[in-house]
Every structure is written in C-alpha cells, then in structure tokens.
Amino acid sequence: MLDSYRDDIRDLDLFAGMKQESFEALMRGAYIQNFPPRIELISEGDTPDFLHIVISGSVDLFSSWNGRETSMATVRPVSTFILAATIKNAPYLMSARTLEKSRVALLPSEDVRAIFASDGAFARAIVTELAQCYRAVVKNTKDLKLRTSLERLANYLLRQQRHNGSPEFDLRMEKRRLASFLGMTPENLSRAFKGLEPHGIKVAGSRIIVHDIVALERFAKPSALIDRYDS
C-alpha cells in the first residue's frame, strides 16, 4: 500500500490515536483495490470479511426487500463502512455499490477485532464512531417520522446550502436516488420541488438556487437535534 493511502487512513479519527505497532499490524493484511462504477462491494446478509475505507470516488449504501430498494447513505472519501458489522461479526444490514470509479481500502475484519481487543485507544475511537453512527440513525429516523416529505426536502436543501456555502449549488446525487434517500417516490420529489418554489427555491435540472434563505428556513424549521450530523 502506498504511503499516501496509509497516511489518509491514519488521519481518520478512528485510527489517529491507536498505537503505531497496532496500526502497522492492521496494515499488514490490508490492501487497496480499484473498482469501476456500479460494482456491488458487499451484499446485505453476507459475513463481514473486511472493513472498507473509501479512499476516492463514492459508494452507495442501500437495502432491498420484497422487490423494493432504498438508498440509505452515500459514503465519500475518506471514511469507513460498515463498522458495526465488522465489530459484532454479524451479517451486513446494508449492501454497498460504487457510484463512480472508486478506490477502496480493505482491512480484514479479524484483524480489526483483534486490535479492538488489545488497543485501548482504538477501542475508544470505535465506541465514539459507533455512538456517532447511532445518533445519526436516530436523527434520520426523526426526520422521516416527524416531517412531511416537503419538510424533509426543505431541510435537506438547507443542509446542502450550508455545506456548499453558496446560495447556488448542484445536487450531490441524481434525483431518483435523492427521492429514495428522503423516503419519497421520484414523482413526489418533483412535486415537492415545485411546492418549495413559494419558499425561496428555484430548480434548473440538478442546479438549486436558494433565492430567499429566510423564507426557506421559516418553512423548514431546522433543528440541531435532527439536522446536525456532526454532533
């Protein structure tokens, strides 16, 4: 593995505080693999043989049941997935596929669990990361259960606007995937975009223009207990 990839991994909060010898032991069995777009990396129900780290590109986490499919999250560099399955040695609850050409590091799950048991700093970092993931799931569940589809879209656009720091930005995912992520049909998403026009939103293809942020915030009523995914 190139030193630049090792440095990217080491810089993650999950690995930053662990002992150097533990990190070296973890890297001995790790390797980098390049994947083209639309390749399924893992399937829900499978045993977690590896902890995956997205080094470049992007990965869609999704789930299927009874002929239906929904997008759960998008993983972008540099970050791991799916840590809980690796630590519990339990079946994946989601599948993952590349959205574009992606470079992924694979760390043997057995090695991750062994170092989790022996390196206290690494164990604490894992607990912190899993706690953060749990809180994100709770916030996402509140978003889905407490808000209408129009309110969910409004708050999603507010979060994207703040992330981009500009009143104009491009959607980070195609609209069909966005509808799935927000728990909507593509048809409902189109109607929701139109429904937000009186609240300060203009849409041109994948380009979003927030021309009245006050009106959008007044309608969306954002909450730090739902919309802040960094706490």
Same-domain check for residues 92 and 155: no
- The candidate with the shortest Cα–Cα distance to 204, out of 213, 189, 193, 214, is 193
pTM of the complete model: 0.89
CATH code at position 204: 1.10.10.10
Report the pLDDT value the prediction gives residue 231, as an integer from 0 to 100: 76
Say if residue 110 is in the same domain as residue 10.
yes
Mark whether 124 and 156 lie in a shared domain: no
C-alpha to C-alpha distance for 111 and 27, rounded to whole angstroms: 9
Tokens 């995937």: give the residue. 177
Q: What is the pLDDT of residue 1?
A: 79
Residue 13, φ and ψ in degrees, nearest 5 = -55, -35
What's the pLDDT score for residue 169?
A: 96
Which pLDDT score is estimated for 216? 97
Given 123, 143, 163, which residue is the final one in a domain? 143
Residue 131 sits in a domain whose CATH number is: 2.60.120.10
Q: Which of 93, 109, 143 is the C-terminal boundary of a domain?
A: 143
pLDDT at 197: 97
Query: Same domain for 134 and 221?
Result: no
pLDDT at 229: 79
Do 117 and 164 reside in the same domain of the chain?
Answer: no
Q: How many whole angstroms separate alpha carbon 224 and alpha carbon 206?
A: 27
Query: Which token pair is 98?
Result: 């590349």
Question: Within this chain, do residues 77 and 94 fall inside the same structural domain, yes or no?
Answer: yes
Map residue 185 onto helix, strand or coil: coil
3-state secondary structure of 73: strand
Q: Same domain, yes or no, for 96 and 157?
A: no
Domain match, 35 and 117 both: yes
Encode the chain (231 residues) as per-residue pLDDT tens digits: 788 999 999 999 999 999 999 999 999 999 999 999 999 999 999 999 999 999 999 999 999 999 999 999 999 999 999 999 999 999 999 999 999 999 999 999 999 999 999 999 999 999 999 999 999 999 999 999 999 999 999 999 999 999 999 999 999 899 999 999 999 999 999 999 999 999 999 999 999 999 999 999 999 999 999 998 777
Which of 86, 111, 143 is the last residue before a domain boundary? 143
Do 157 and 138 lie in a common domain?
no
DSSP helix/strand/coil, 172: coil
| Phi, psi torsion values for 146, nearest 5 degrees | -100, -15
Identify the burial level of 126 via C-beta atoms within 10 angstroms of its C-beta, where 0-12 means exposed, 13-18 middle and 19 or more buried.
Answer: buried
117 vs 99: CA distance, rounded Å = 34
d(CA 181, CA 107) in angstroms, rounded, equals 28
How far, in Å, CA of 9 to CA of 40, rounded? Answer: 22
Count how many domains the chain has: 2
Same domain, 84 and 16: yes
Q: Please tell me whether residues 52 and 104 are part of one structural domain.
A: yes
Query: Range of 29's domain?
Result: 3-143
**Claim to verify: residue 139 and residue 154 sit in the same structural domain:** no
Task: Let me know: does 205 contact 190? Beta carbons within 8 Å.
Answer: no
What single string gives the DSSP state of each residue in 5-48?
HHHHHHHSHHHHTS-HHHHHHHHHT-EEEEE-TT-EEE-TTS--
